[in-house]
Structure 1
Amino acid sequence: MIRALVLLLALILPLAAGAVQPDEILDDPVLEARARSISAGLRCPVCRNESIDDSHADLARDLRLLVRERLVAGDTDAQVTRFIVERYGEYVLLNPPARGSTWILWLAGPGLLLLGLGLVVSYLRRRARAPEAETGLNAEEAARLAEIMEDDGQR
C-alpha cells in the first residue's frame, strides 16, 4: 500500500512542476522569474482554466515563448501582458479586471447566490405561515370510516 502511494507520488510530482520545457527557460534568472510570473496569470486558450505555464498544449508553448521574446526585447511586464491581451483578448487573463462587460461576470455568482438565499427564506416564511392540516376526522368522516370497516369485516 505504502509502495503504491510512493510510486503514485513519484509519477505525479513531476507533472506539478508545470509544462515549461528546458529549451524555453531563459539564461537570465531575473527574466525567467518575470516570465514565470506573467505566464502564471495567462490562461491557455486550448485548456481553458490552466495557465500557459501548466499547459502542455502547443499554443501554450507558443505563448510562453512569445512572453520570453518580449521580455528579452525589453518590454515591461505590463507591456507583455497588454501585447498578449491585444492578440487574444481578455479571455487569456486568468484574473480579468472588473470593468465594463466583465462586471456582469463578477457579479453573476454573488447575485445568483443572493437570489437563491432569498428564495429559500421566502419559501420557509410561507411554510411557517401556512395553516397546519387537521389530523383528526370530523364526525361525518369517522362515521363513514366505521361503516367501511364494518363492511370489510363482514366479507
Structure 2
Amino acid sequence: MALMAVPLAAQGDVPPAPYAYRQLDDPAQEAAAQELMETLRCLKCQSQSIADSDAPMAGDMRHQVRIRIADGEEPEAIRRWLMDRYGDYVSYEPVMSATTWPLFVIPILLVLLAMLIFRRRFRGRT
C-alpha cells in the first residue's frame, strides 16, 4: 500500500505552470486571455471556469491559454485546440457536431410532441 501512495504524493509536489497565476505583461493580451478563460470549463471542478478554479489542471490550462495568446494565436484557435485535446465539454459555448446534435434536436422534438398532445387533448373538449 505504501508503494502505491508514493506516485500520488509526488504529483502534488509539482510547482504550478509559470503563467497559471501570473498575468501577461500586455494588458490587451491579458484581457483576451481572461475573456477566453472565462468560457472554458475546468475539467476537475466542472462547475467553474478555468479562470475561477484553483485545480492544478485549470492552472495548466490557464498557462496554455496565456502563452498561446502571448505567441499571437487567436482565441478561437486556442479554444479549438483545447476542445480537440479535452473534448467539447471543455467549452461553455457548445458546438453542433455529429455527437452533440441530439442534445439540440431532442428538446425541440419533445416540445413539439407536448404541443401536439395538448392540442389534441383540449381540442376534443370544446
CA contact (8 A) 1:49 1:94 kept: no
Residue identity opposite 1:56 in structure 2: D
1:70 to 51, 68, 72: 68
**Distance (Å, rounded) in 2 between the aligned partners of 1:115 and 1:56:** 44
Between 21-30 and 95-104, the greater mean CA deviation after superposition: 21-30
- SS of the residue corresponding to residue 21 of structure 2 reads helix
Map 1:124-143 to 2 at 5 A: 124-126=122-124, 128=125
Residue identity opposite 1:110 in structure 2: I
Aligned to 1:57: 55
Distance 1:26 1:108, change over 3 A: same
Residue identity opposite 1:36 in structure 2: Q
Aligned to 1:112: 110
Aligned to 2:77: 79
Q: CA RMSD in A?
A: 2.4
Aligned to 1:94: 92
Aligned to 1:45: 43
Distance 1:114 1:76, change over 3 A: same
Residue identity opposite 1:113 in structure 2: V
Q: Which runs of at least 4 in structure 1 moved beyond 3 Å after TM superposition? A: none
Rg larger in structure: 1
Distance 1:89 1:118, change over 3 A: same
Identical columns (%): 34
Count of aligned positions: 108
**Distance (Å, rounded) in 2 between the aligned partners of 1:106 and 1:67:** 29
- Structure 2, unmatched stretches of 5+, are 1-18
Q: Which has the higher contact order (CA 8 A, sep 6+)?
A: 2
Deviation, 1:57, is: 2.7
| Higher helix residue share | 1
